[in-house]
Structure 1
């Protein structure tokens, strides 16, 4: 079973996408659309301040009648960011995301953001592990 660090190293897109806290929701949405991602970190220099997701947009902007262009991301971002340690397994990361009901999990080593794992990353890894196990069992049986 792989760790969060190993999975991040294997990702084809390893860049960390972020916006500063004074960015508008519209600017964050532009970045998310451009990079085809569902969440963006809110950072000041290298310090993680929050995370903003499509769910935040739907619940904290649209439903509250705010405007994307006039709302600073710092007003609606999720400030209490739950994250994984690099040594945590993919199963542990999946459990965190399932329990807390979100789809993007930053991986942090101390105060340093190493990357973000999505639920898609974890599901792909789980499928790959299962396929490997099936192949090993088939080889054993057919020997």
Structure 2
């Protein structure tokens, strides 16, 4: 479900473009990351200038400590972004599966999955490159 998806239930084929939605999500997290980086630069720049004056050294040290702690926010923003995309894809995959019903063929990025409603819900059979059928849990 990286770029787009094609769903065929026998009667109709539906094409869904997820790229635009993913770009919106990506842009929001990128803006958060940029804001975090600007604040980091501000804390370290002001803290560095404060080291030039003896009476501001203590406060400058605290700005360095605060900026160092804030450096952990960048990886947390990236992790939240990845989790948001994963939840987004799972949400739409489940919504499509429930709306389309049994024997739905889903094509995403060249891979082909045949949904079978019955024996084990939430699983699919996928043909790998060597013609073997493998079971895959969503």
> So what's the TM-score if we normalise by structure 1?
0.24
> So what's the TM-score if we normalise by structure 2?
0.25
Flag the structure with larger Rg: 2
If asked which structure has higher relative contact order (CA below 8 Å, sep 6+), I would say 1
